[in-house]
Amino acid sequence: MNITKSISLFQEAQKLLPGGVDSPVRAFRAVGGQPLFIECGKGPYLFDVDGNRYIDYVLSWGPLITGHAHPNVVKAIQDAAVKGTSYGAPSPLEVDLAKRVMEFMPNIEMIRFVNSGTEATMSALRLARAYTKRDKIIKFDGCYHGHADMLLVQAGSGVITLGLPDSPGVPKDTVKDTLVADFNNLDSVEALFRKYPEQIAAIIVEPVAGNMGVVPPLPGFLEGLRRITEREGAILIFDEVMTGFRVHKGGAQALYQVKPDLTTLGKVIGGGLPVGAYGGKKEIMQMVAPAGPMYQAGTLSGNPLAMSAGIAALDLIQNQGVWDEMEARSRQLDAGIESAAKKAGVPITQTRVGTMRTLFFSETKPIDWNTVKLADKVRFGKFFQKMLENGVYLAPSQFEAGFISIMHDGPVIDATIAAVEQAFKTW
Ligand SMILES: *Cc1c(COP(=O)(O)O)cnc(C)c1O
């Protein structure tokens, strides 16, 4: 594989951008080697600057459920661009996307668009604190909710991969109200409520954890969080920035039939442009300025290009048939990987919910960060490099989710399975 141009670009980039990248997980630090510089994407494929083609299972870390450069999404962005790229005033597109999101997630009664998942979770927590007049929040070990100061505590893959349990620069006082419980462990949550009665404003959770690799909720876990928060007068926030329109057409809240008070969204709802959103019960959302006193604002929020891309993307995943097809392709991939591993005698555990998946090099079923971290990172690194050589682009860490799109058809999946078999053959 010739990556000469990527190598020289990376050398230059490292002089200009910290670590040569604009987001740490892109740097391939967990798997060795160096990042590839991308020339373009088309459907299920990424093309690097040296002309190599890869089947893409990263899909911009989740957003691209319609694949790269889907003609409908591209046209929506082009049509919007000629009408102006930002107004700083309301446009009909915001009303349109709001209605569509609510069709997918009827539990959301009002919504506020922002520009990233980080902004969404940060704002939702401010809102929960404003509403309950309490300061403390609970998050789970291994869950990531963006890089806001108060949330950079035991925060999943990106941070773990770098071996930073916390980040320097986060003041102690900022995280003193952030309590950490174990994913899939209701006792650890109960213990915190016992210790801090009437002080906990909210629980924020990835209903299917995706930022320590995919870890599904055990039966009863989400229901338990709902029961506990209701009893304690705390707000339940589902961070569906990744799971929203990934695990099910209606997100994890539809799949598991548990209704959170607030939901945060991002990734898929922007169709590949920068968007986030938070929404939920009207009574709570009415506290957001200017309807209420909880201040939150954004120069580019509700941006017409981003709204248009989001509308086009949601249009493309509107029909159940699309979801049935993605489920069939996912099963095909599950089975292919399972049988390749068996044949080669490689111990693996696959987790998958809808279009999110992780292949753990571990025999232990992952249920929380403690079980996740048993996976063999060195083996993953080798596997990652071989898959890259075989034309398949995986997330460059054992502790990440992989994604498919509506463009990952049968032959693309077959080609992926062949690459896996090839990688395991030389094991
Ligand atoms: C990606 C992600 C975020 C952060 O979103 P950004 O747009 O990267 O700020 C927050 N929560 C979850 C669950 C995510 O997967």
- The predicted structure's pLDDT at residue 158: 65
- Which mutation among 60, 113, 121, 355 tests ligand 1's pocket best, with the greatest number of atoms within 8 A of CB? 121
Residue 281, amino acid: K
CA pair distance 201, 128, nearest whole angstrom: 6
Q: End-to-end distance of the chain based on CA atoms, in angstroms? A: 19
Show the DSSP H helices in 82-143 as ranges: 92-104, 117-132
Residue 146: helix, strand or coil by DSSP? coil
Q: Is 241 in the pocket of ligand 1 (CB under 6 A)?
A: yes
Q: What domains does the chain contain, in order, with CATH numbers?
A: 1-42 (no CATH), 71-316 (3.40.640.10), 319-359+378-427 (3.90.1150.10)
- The predicted structure's pLDDT at residue 157: 64
CA pair distance 277, 302, nearest whole angstrom: 9
- The predicted structure's pLDDT at residue 176: 87
Beta-bridge partner residues of 54: 46
DSSP, residue by residue, 148-182 = -GGG-BS--HHHHHTT-SB-TTS-HHHHTTEEEE-
CA atoms within 13 A on the CB side of 397: 26
| Closest atom of ligand 1 relative to the 23 alpha carbon | 8
Kindly list the averaged pLDDT for each block of 10 residues, start to end, along the chain of length 427.
96 96 92 95 98 98 98 98 98 98 98 98 98 97 92 71 66 87 97 97 98 98 98 98 97 98 98 98 98 97 98 97 98 98 96 98 96 95 96 97 98 98 89
- The predicted structure's pLDDT at residue 166: 66
Query: Which two tokens mark 42?
Result: 């088309």
- The predicted structure's pLDDT at residue 163: 47
Query: Which two tokens mark 157?
Result: 């893959």
- The predicted structure's pLDDT at residue 127: 98
CA of residue 62 to ligand 1 center, whole Å: 10
Residue 237, amino acid: I
CA of residue 155 to ligand 1 center, whole Å: 11
Who's near 370: CB < 8 A, 6+ residues apart? 141, 182
- The predicted structure's pLDDT at residue 386: 96
Residue whose tokens read 């798997």: 31
> How many separate helices (H) and strands (E) can be counted in the chain?
15, 14
